[in-house]
Chains A and B, each alone.
Chain A
Amino acid sequence: MSPSAIPFRLNGQPQRYDGAPLARLLDVLREHYGLTGTKEGCGEGECGACTVLLDGEPVCSCLVPMLQVADRHVETVEGLTADARGAALVEAFVEAGGVQCGACTPGIVVSARALLERNPRPNRGQIREAIGGNLCRCTGYERILAAVQQAAAQRCAERADAAQEDSSR
């Protein structure tokens, strides 16, 4: 491959990146695209603050070289909270007290979003598994679990409402 340009999609938009192919996705998101919602904690895959979705699956953007996003879809916390579902998830974090300093929050929101897309009614164990790769030094996790549970319950309630509306039509 010529080192010229790497085509990929970023939050739904087609992009061509023409910098260093082994640059970390994390740095390119923050410095080249100005998407600073994605945080750097450890820089070695342990903390999950840099979590983004690659073709819908959570990955650590600190461990993805740019050449491997070629022809793939990258979704960051900015993209994943721009729609109604994402906004509701963020709202649940605020209401449940799942945010303190906020350093871990974008990564956890991304992991939680990926979980809810796969499994709209996760139990406690499944939520714990999904955020197992995200460290939080402040909250003690309880309120994060509560926030994800609340967002899931709200989604199910909305779905039930929508179904009722459909059937009463």
Chain B
Amino acid sequence: MSVCFRPERLEEAIELLADPATGAIPIAGCTDLLVQWHSRRERPNAVLDLLGIEALRGIEERDGALEIGACTSFRTIGESERVLRHAPALAEIAGTIGAWQIQNRATIGGNIANASPAGDSLPVLLALGAELVLAGPAGERTVAYEAFHTGYRQTALEPGELIARVRIPLAGEHAFGAVHKVGTRCAQAISKVIVALGCDRPGGRLTGVRIGAGSVAPTPVRLRETEALLEGQIPDADLAERAGACAAGEVQPIDDVRSTARYRRWVLGRLVRRMVLDAAGRRVP
């Protein structure tokens, strides 16, 4: 029978995780893990349940950032006033991660650590310029979100480290964000393409443009060429058209069970175009 640890303090969890004798793997909402365990008809020898750790839950404003504990569920994130104010695109995507039954259990830390190229919160965190606070035996360290996904299902997590929380800069007066996801159906469909835009719009001009895209590469990616094209510009229909074409050209998606490369590239272009039009339409005077 599997050995289970249910620590209440983060320090305790780190100690257990760092001890090779326990060999425990961390578990949160289990919406990815239990699907895998069940299909392989196996269970790990030892697990470390993170859900009982107070320090990994909750949504706060601290040091100019919105801090979201790794074990916060997407249900809580989607309904949080703070997230709606400072990261509306994250709240919006939280409401599309599976149906209610999944959102009640799935955590943002699990979504990030699972590191699927189709993970929906990942491109949004890229677009929002997020950071991750990782906790390990040597204490805490902060990594820029864009440095976290190092390869297909590879992350910057060192052995013995956990994701403690996500930090998202508080939205300024001119902040603009948008996200679009295309799947097979509305409820619980894995994304064929997902793309998010984050920027400021002082006087209607786009600055600090960041675009994150998912399901179009082995990891979530920034669309740097499209960002450069938009930077400093005032969005209009022509710019939207050019940005869409640029985005479609700068990714190399693959054919897989969910979709084809050609479809993904085309949809990505259309979604980017639409987001730039959104940015033009809701322009601050």
Known: A59-B101, A60-B102, A63-B105. A3 touches B34 (CB 8 A): no
Determine whether the beta carbon of B1 is less than 8 Å from that of A3.
yes
- Which one of A21, A45, A129 lies within 8 Å of B4 (CB-CB)? A21
Determine whether the beta carbon of B39 is less than 8 Å from that of A44.
yes
Q: Give the distance to chain B from A40, nearest Cβ to Cβ, in Å.
A: 10
Determine whether the beta carbon of B105 is less than 8 Å from that of A3.
no
Residues of A close to B237: CB separation below 8 A: none
Q: Which residue of A lies closest to B37 (CB)?
A: A22
Determine whether the beta carbon of B1 is less than 8 Å from that of A43.
no
Cα A22 to Cα B4 with chains together (Å): 9
Q: Which residue of B lies closest to A115 (CB)?
A: B100
Determine whether the beta carbon of B2 is less than 8 Å from that of A57.
no
Residues of A close to B47: CB separation below 8 A: 22, 67
- Which one of A57, A64, A133 lies within 8 Å of B30 (CB-CB)? A64
Q: Mark B22-39, 1 if CB is under 8 A from A, else 0.
A: 000001011100110111
Cα A46 to Cα B98 with chains together (Å): 8
Cα A59 to Cα B5 with chains together (Å): 23
Cα A132 to Cα B186 with chains together (Å): 8
Residues of B close to A146: CB separation below 8 A: none
Determine whether the beta carbon of A1 is less than 8 Å from that of B6.
yes
Q: Give the distance to chain B from A93, nearest Cβ to Cβ, in Å.
A: 19
The residues in A between 60 and 106 inclusive whose CB is less than 8 angstroms from any CB of B are 60, 62-65, 67-68, 70
B271: interface (CB < 8 Å): no
The residues in B between 53 and 83 inclusive whose CB is less than 8 angstroms from any CB of A are 75
Cα A47 to Cα B98 with chains together (Å): 11
Residues of B close to A3: CB separation below 8 A: 1-4
B89: interface (CB < 8 Å): no
Residues of B close to A132: CB separation below 8 A: 99-100, 186-188
A-B contact count (CB 8 A): 90
Determine whether the beta carbon of A45 is less than 8 Å from that of B3.
no
Q: Give the distance to chain B from A6, nearest Cβ to Cβ, in Å.
A: 9
Tell me which of A3, A57, A67 has the highest count of chain B C-beta atoms within 10 A of its own C-beta.
A67
Cα A63 to Cα B37 with chains together (Å): 10
Determine whether the beta carbon of B6 is less than 8 Å from that of A62.
no
Cα A127 to Cα B278 with chains together (Å): 29
Known: A21-B2, A22-B4, A67-B4. A48 touches B101 (CB 8 A): yes
Residues of B close to A70: CB separation below 8 A: 6
Determine whether the beta carbon of B6 is less than 8 Å from that of A58.
no
Residues of B close to A129: CB separation below 8 A: 100
Q: Give the distance to chain B from A141, nearest Cβ to Cβ, in Å.
A: 12
Determine whether the beta carbon of A65 is less than 8 Å from that of B30.
yes
A116: interface (CB < 8 Å): no
Determine whether the beta carbon of B38 is less than 8 Å from that of A43.
yes
Determine whether the beta carbon of B2 is less than 8 Å from that of A63.
no
Cα A22 to Cα B49 with chains together (Å): 11
The residues in A between 1 and 57 inclusive whose CB is less than 8 angstroms from any CB of B are 1, 3, 20-22, 24, 43-46, 48, 51, 54, 57
List 21 interface pairs A-B (beta carbons < 8 Å), by A numbering. Answer: A20-B2, A22-B4, A22-B44, A44-B38, A45-B101, A48-B99, A51-B101, A57-B100, A57-B104, A58-B101, A59-B105, A60-B105, A63-B105, A64-B30, A67-B4, A68-B49, A68-B51, A130-B100, A132-B99, A132-B188, A133-B100
**B interface, CB within 8 angstroms of A:** 1-6, 27, 29-31, 34-35, 37-39, 43-44, 47, 49, 51, 75, 98-102, 104-105, 186-188
Given A22-B43, A60-B105: 12 more A-B contacts, CB < 8 Å: A3-B1, A20-B2, A44-B35, A58-B101, A58-B104, A62-B34, A63-B31, A63-B35, A111-B100, A111-B101, A114-B100, A134-B99
**A interface, CB within 8 angstroms of B:** 1, 3, 20-22, 24, 43-46, 48, 51, 54, 57-60, 62-65, 67-68, 70, 111, 114, 129-130, 132-134
